[in-house]
Amino acid sequence: MAEPKNEEFLDDIATAEAEEMADEFVEISEEALELDELRAERDDFKDKFMRALADAENARKRGDKARREAEQYGGSKLARDMLPVYDNLKRALEAATDEQKEVAAGLIEGVELTMRALTDVFHKHGIEVIAPQVGDRFDPNVHEAMFEAPVPGTKAGDIIQVSAEGFMLHDRLLRPAQVGVSSTPAN
């Protein structure tokens, strides 16, 4: 009968060891679970940090782009307001006859110098004149058709008259050149 007690004793030891191992396993499982939760939280914070960093970089790039555009195009309203001054100076110079140029040479020279100073300021700030010539092809990107007329010896779409020059501010159109366009049908 000694054997059953031994077996009971061994069963009790095995049960106690199993319970102890189960407790350790529960403890390890809880620690592993907490570690997994901390890793997930760390990964979440890392993801949020990376997104915030990317957002900050994008905001910096947008700010730089806005600053560059403000530098290049911020004066476009003033530039548009100066275009009639250019037009009037040009018309004044074109209207002066040879006789007037002799009589009022100083005045004409002053207008020419003013015109030169204005064009220098335009160039300094990236404003370029669009000066189409009679016979050039009409380009709707930089020209505005003021009228169409059939003119012998021309093809449809040819410029037949320039009413006013146009202007570009860097790569943007300030004012299209105002032109007359041939509507002569093709033969």
65-85 pLDDT, tens digit per residue, is 999 888 888 888 899 999 999
Cβ atoms < 10 Å from Cβ of 126: 16
Pair (120, 131) in one structural domain: no
Tokens of 57: 């970089």
Pair (89, 21) in one structural domain: no
Domain boundary among 52, 73, 94: 73
Q: What is the CATH number of the domain that holds 154?
A: 2.30.22.10
- Name the average pLDDT for the chain: 88
Give dist(CA 20, CA 29) in Å, integer. Answer: 14
Pair (66, 90) in one structural domain: no
Q: State the Cα angle at 125 between 174 and 145, rounded to 5°.
A: 20
pTM given for the model: 0.65
Pair (115, 149) in one structural domain: no
Pair (69, 84) in one structural domain: no
Letter string b/e over residues 148-175, b meaning 16 or more CB atoms within 10 A of that residue's CB: eeebeebeebbbbebebbbbbbeeeebb
Can you say whether the dihedral through the CA atoms of 19, 23, 25, 29 is positive or negative? positive
Per the structure, the complete domain to which residue 163 belongs is given by 127-187
The larger pLDDT score, comparing residue 49 to residue 6, is at: 49
Pair (3, 61) in one structural domain: yes
pLDDT at 168 over 80: yes
Q: What is the mean pLDDT of the segment spanning 136-147?
A: 95
The total of structural domains in the chain comes to: 3
Pair (82, 64) in one structural domain: no
Domain boundary among 58, 73, 88: 73
Tell me the pLDDT band of 26, cut-offs 50, 70 and 90.
low
